[in-house]
Amino acid sequence: QNHLLGIEPLHPAEITALLDLADQYAALNRGSKRGDALAGLTQINMFFENSTRTQASFEIAGKRLGADVMNMAMQSSSVKKGETLIDTALTLNAMHPDLLVVRHPHSGAVDLLAQKVNCAVLNAGDGRHEHPTQALLDALTIRRAKGRLHRLTIAICGDIAHSRVARSNLILLGKMENRVRLVGPPTLLPSGIDQFGCEVTHDMAEGLKDADVVMMLRLQKERMDGGFIPSEREYYHRYGLDADKLRHAKPDAIVMHPGPMNRGVEIDGQIADDITRSVITEQVEMGVAVRMAAMDLLARNLRARPRPVTA
Ligand code: CP
């Protein structure tokens, strides 16, 4: 692949190869933390939407592998003077970066940008479309906790309709032959979602029954366009993960959350902090390893092919 824009185009063998490499980087990160796979390369991070985990881990990943990393401060860039996404991308492209990491509020914006530049582009989340590195770090976390990434029952719960994390996970976990259940209120489950081969339910007890993995999602209010926003108290009562609801899952089920987390809305704080069940901190740790692996693989491809010249 020339870019990492989504999970959709990836073959299961490519996903496995990336996770295998990420496992090696996870070991490196607990030791010397130093590699040279990106030495001599320039990485630019462009985040048009807020981020803590993704932006920090892409920066750390690039630096640990020897890249020159620049974080564009989008709030003080010429985007604020009306410069378009494409003109911004072409301007940066003229400085010959090798890796562009982009987060944007509009679905499809990162794909569009990738068509205009001659470096490798990584999607750090576009609208409600895809967040591929999140799904890959979730997959690595599951594989390390469960010893496999197939034939597991995985419940993804909450605001599915507005979640790029849910969409990328649904695609990835389906490709790896898992049983995926989507759980949420009817207003937060998009119609036609069962075309992805998943089960859909509005009932937490049914959705969590015998699950190996329980993945909770945040209410994405910033994408609700003034439409239905549930009362947080009512939502927590019906869909928030607490000890009572978790009892429906397998006794060794793991609890995941991509963050940022709203305690007392989609998850009880004690469940989130219970290190015998929650792998939320490990998800963050695996985020660095997966992003190192993703950029390493794209850089190998970049070095192997002639770079086209764009206008
Ligand atoms: N999971 C995730 O994308 O978190 P950030 O928005 O903090 O990057």
Tens digits of residue pLDDT in 231-241: 899 999 999 99
Instruction: Please state the atom number of ligand 1 nearest to the C-alpha of residue 50.
Output: 6
Residue 271: pLDDT above 80?
yes
**pLDDT for residue 227:** 61
ipTM over 0.95: yes
54 is in an annotated binding site: yes
Instruction: Please state the atom number of ligand 1 nearest to the C-alpha of residue 103.
Output: 8
Digit-coded pLDDT (tens) for 18-59: 999 999 999 999 999 999 999 999 999 999 999 999 999 999
pLDDT band at 308 (very low <50, low <70, confident <90, very high): low
**No. of H helices and E strands in the chain?**
11, 9
218 is in an annotated binding site: yes
**pLDDT for residue 310:** 55
Closest Cα to atom 4 of ligand 1:
53
Digit-coded pLDDT (tens) for 181-215: 999 999 999 888 878 889 999 999 999 999 999 99
Digit-coded pLDDT (tens) for 282-296: 999 999 999 999 999
Pocket probe for ligand 1: among 45, 46, 53, the residue whose CB has the most ligand atoms within 8 Å is 53
Q: Which two tokens stand for residue 311?
A: 């206008």
Question: Alpha-carbon distance 170 to 186, whole Å?
Answer: 18
Of 102, 99, 108, residue with least CA distance to 88? 102
Q: Could you tell me which residues come within 8 angstroms of residue 25 by beta carbon, excluding any fewer than 6 positions away?
A: 35, 288, 289, 290, 292, 293, 296
Which single residue is written with the structure tokens 């890249």? 67
AA letter at 113: L
63 is in an annotated binding site: no
Long-range pairs of 173-176 with CB within 8 A, sequence gap ≥ 24: 173/135, 173/139, 174/198, 175/7, 175/10, 175/12, 175/15, 176/12, 176/15, 176/139, 176/149, 176/150
258 is in an annotated binding site: no
Please check whether residue 165 is in contact with residue 191, taking contact to mean a CB–CB distance below 8 angstroms.
Answer: no
Long-range pairs of 229-234 with CB within 8 A, sequence gap ≥ 24: 230/185, 230/187, 230/188, 232/262, 232/264, 232/265
81 is in an annotated binding site: yes
Bridge partners (DSSP) listed for residue 201: 183
What is the 60 CA–ligand 1 centroid distance (Å)?
15
Digit-coded pLDDT (tens) for 207-264: 999 999 999 999 887 778 766 667 899 999 999 999 999 999 999 999 999 999 999 9
What is the 107 CA–ligand 1 centroid distance (Å)?
16
Which protein residues touch ligand 1 with a CB less than 6 Å away?
51-54, 125, 134, 258-260
Instruction: Please state the atom number of ligand 1 nearest to the C-alpha of residue 56.
Output: 8
**pLDDT for residue 178:** 98
Which single residue is written with the structure tokens 């976390």? 141
